[in-house]
Homo-oligomer: A and B are copies of this chain.
Amino acid sequence: MKTIRASIIGFGAVGQGVANVILQKSDYLQKVGIDLRVVAIADSRTSVIDGEGVDLSVVLASKKEKKAVGTGKISGIDIIRTVAHELVIETTPTNIVDGGVGLVNMLAAFERGMDVVTSNKGPLALKYGELTEASKRSGSRFKFEATVGGAMPVINLACDTLAGNRILSMEGIFNGTCNYILTRMMEEQAPYEQMLAEAQELGIAEADPSYDVEGIDTASKLVIVANVIFGMNATYRDVTVTGITRITPEALLLAHNNGYAIKLIGEVNDGRINVAPKLVPLGNPLAVGGTLNVFSVQTDISGPITITGRGAGSIETASAILSDIISLYKE
């Protein structure tokens, strides 16, 4: 049994999801030889620290009732710099402009030789090369399955499970909000604005939906996968992006009657990274509906391999973080 001391930096939906999943899976973690102790948690205003391991149920209840993880005032970055632990679980809100506090947190963790597991896309979509360099320099390990495709194990599938194959190209649907809106526009033959409003009502789209519907979220995820799989050092600004706001129900119907669906597809081919609405044949593994995400790689010897799953959701994202933790420390 290995004792791993971890911090959770950022305690929004995903951070709380991680705490819940760790509670739920403690028996399983013990079974694979991991005694995981969360010794510090920080949200944006408060923190709690206990070298023996904080009581996650108490912190979850406190967050729910008092909107605070505790009464401490030590910030996330100071926890990373001063509290003795091996693993930083970085789940602060993403910042796609300059990487924000997440980038600072990750670099600080690497400086101390700590491992980082994160769901925070921004820093990776902007500074992939810098981050992986920093982790290598200090011998830290860096896992970020949760940044792409929620519960879909995109990165680990491509890098580990398909180890015998070389990946030639890849494409997929990386944004459940867009997929939901397009699916519903076709089903109801209703315009974009109406189905966006429905998605917002259901909590599937944000009040400001531009990050999703303009394709920026898809571009950020795509860049992370492209960098990992093809050893690129691209940022999301290198991606040619067209969103879904101009698609009409008439176009969707015409496509359908000819045996196609229209989907917002992100693809990497010959070093070019594109996000745009594309025709996909019905019956093709990419033609999944609802909020589903899908990821497909073309391999040199096995042809195409496709994986489909829920691309978002805090508990799904937390499960990807847990899978990364298990892969780092299991016996």
Contact = CB atoms under 8 A, between A and B. Distances in A.
Given A285-B292, A303-B310, A319 B164 contact: yes
Given A303-B151, A310-B303, A315-B301, A161 B157 contact: yes
A330 interface: yes
B299 A151 contact: yes
A318 B305 contact: no
Interface in A13-29: 21, 24-25, 28
B305 A309 contact: yes
Contact of A316 (B183, B294, B301, B321): B301
Given A163-B32, A292-B285, A309 B303 contact: yes
A302 B285 contact: no
A290 B281 CA distance: 12
Contacts of A32: 163
A160 B161 contact: yes
A94 interface: no
A117 B166 CA distance: 21
Interface in A137-190: 150-153, 156-157, 160-166, 183
B305 A161 contact: no
B164 A21 contact: yes
A41 interface: no
Contacts of A289: 283-284
B303 A306 contact: no
Given A153-B157, A164-B326, A303-B309, 4 more contacts: A161-B323, A164-B321, A283-B288, A303-B316
Interface of A: 21, 24-25, 28, 32, 150-153, 156-157, 160-166, 183, 261, 282-285, 287-290, 292, 294, 299, 301-310, 313, 315-316, 318-323, 325-327, 330
